[in-house]
Amino acid sequence: MPTYTVLADANETQFQNPQELVSIWGDIREDIERLGGELGESYALIGEYDFQLTFEVEDEDAALQIAIAIEGHGLDTETMRAVPIERMGELVEDV
């Protein structure tokens, strides 16, 4: 299954404290699974974004639905398809 990575920034007007922000992760996991995906690694970040998470899902339409669902929890996101470094060699050889 293709992997997608999400860089997320918490909308400060949505969350009063860190506990509220942490409480949405269970809902995000449920949304990803409901839409046919599987949540991978998740990290809190220091820098421009607050969080990074990955998920795997079979097709782009489901990836878009998942990205929209995550934003529905009050996060501003940037979602990108991730390609393992090992595959880069295969892709370059095909060109």
**8 near 25, Cβ under 8 Å?**
no
**Position 16 confidence tier, pLDDT thresholds 50, 70, 90:** low
For the chain, give the mean pLDDT: 88
Coil, strand, or helix at residue 78?
A: strand
What pLDDT sits at residue 93? 65
Can you give the residue ranges of every domain in the chain?
A: 3-94
Q: What is the mean pLDDT of residues 56-85?
A: 93
Mind listing the pLDDT tens digit for each residue in 28-37? 999 999 999 9
18 pLDDT tier (thresholds 50, 70, 90): low
pLDDT at 62: 96
| Contact by Cβ (8 Å): 56, 2 | yes
The CATH topology of domain 3-94 is: Alpha-Beta Plaits (3.30.70)
- Please tell me the distance from the alpha carbon of residue 26 to that of residue 74, in angstroms, as a whole number: 14
User: Could you tell me if 9 and 76 are in contact, meaning their C-beta atoms sit under 8 angstroms apart?
Assistant: yes
Q: What angle do CA 44, 5, 91 make, to 5 degrees?
A: 140
pLDDT band at 44 (very low <50, low <70, confident <90, very high): confident
Q: What is the H or E stretch that residue 14 is in?
A: none
